[in-house]
Amino acid sequence: MIDLHAHILPGVDDGVKDDAEAVEAARQASAFGVDSIVATPHVIPGVFVNNRSGILEAVARLQGVLDNQEVAVRVFPGAEYYVEPDLPKKLAQGELLTVNDRGQHVLVELPMQNVPAYVDQVLFDLLVRGVTPVLAHPERNRELVDDPGKLYRLVQKGILVQVTAGSLLGMFGREARTAAEFFVRQRWVHFLASDLHGAGERLLALKEAVEKLAGYVGNEGARMLVEENPRCVLVGERVDIGELLPFERRRGGLFSTLMGRIKSGR
């Protein structure tokens, strides 16, 4: 498996704190069948000011540590960019670190509560510059949970979607679990990742979540989300989004049924 979203670089954000914790997380990931991890430290203006060169250096250093400890995991560079109006400008200036520095895909995250008015334009501007945004954990965004049609329209435009494994197991609440399941069933999701911040439950969730995926989209569909699609991103190839199931908010539909389960406490 390839884990496309992981906060495994020591001491650069709210992820792992030191080399020992990073080694422990990598060993655990390897035990669960993960052989490649994309290090995606937060880049949030005024909070986490990680830059491209610093991340590349930190990834190379961590790979050396893992090699010395004989951990059979490869670490690749990336970043999780908080969506802001200046992202296209930073891309043009060579400041954005794309996944594996291939210049093809970039991981972006939204605020937790809303989708700012400028988001559509920012994502479109990245697309027209040849870089495909990968939207991190939309199941944890209040506005997209309340109105899944907004996510559907983004995917229609070419935005890729990554769901966090723990969301499918209820680690972030019942609404996030329901939204994650719905997005997956609708074929709007292209990657499942751990979003690990250290060894432990988020990595443990990855193995169990893959089994759930198979129940939603079949074994081949699950494999696409944790192997084939992430591999395409690592090597800078296009990800085939396949056939999307449309969103229709109608009585008795899947989303209404799932939301009904939440309200009934099931």
pLDDT in tens, 193-240: 999 999 988 888 998 999 999 999 999 999 999 999 999 999 999 998
Q: For the chain, how many structural domains are there in total?
A: 1
Using only C-alpha atoms, the chain has a radius of gyration, in whole angstroms, of 18
What pLDDT score does 258 carry?
60
What pLDDT score does 263 carry?
45
What is the Cα–Cα distance from 254 to 126, expressed in whole angstroms?
A: 32
Does 200 map to a domain? yes
Q: What is the pTM of this model?
A: 0.93
What pLDDT score does 248 carry?
75
Domain that holds residue 239: 80-264
What is the Cα–Cα distance from 81 to 79, expressed in whole angstroms?
A: 6
What pLDDT score does 207 carry?
86
Question: How are strands ordered across the β-sheet holding 36-39?
Answer: 2-6, 36-39, 74-77
CB-neighbour burial class of residue 65 (10 A; exposed 0-12, middle 13-18, buried 19+): middle
What pLDDT score does 262 carry?
46
Does 165 map to a domain? yes
Does 169 map to a domain? yes
Mean per-residue pLDDT over the chain, rounded: 93
Whether the CB-CB separation of 75 and 39 falls below 8 Å is answered with yes
**Which CATH number is 252's domain given?**
3.20.20.140
Does 185 map to a domain? yes
pLDDT digits (tens, 9 = 90+) for 13-52: 999 999 999 999 999 999 999 999 999 999 999 999 999 9
Q: Mean per-residue pLDDT for 159-188?
A: 97
Checking if the pLDDT of 54 tops 70, the result is: yes
Confidence of residue 95 (pLDDT cuts 50, 70, 90): very high
Does 95 map to a domain? yes
Does 43 map to a domain? no
Q: Mean per-residue pLDDT for 172-188?
A: 97
Does 239 map to a domain? yes
Does 65 map to a domain? no
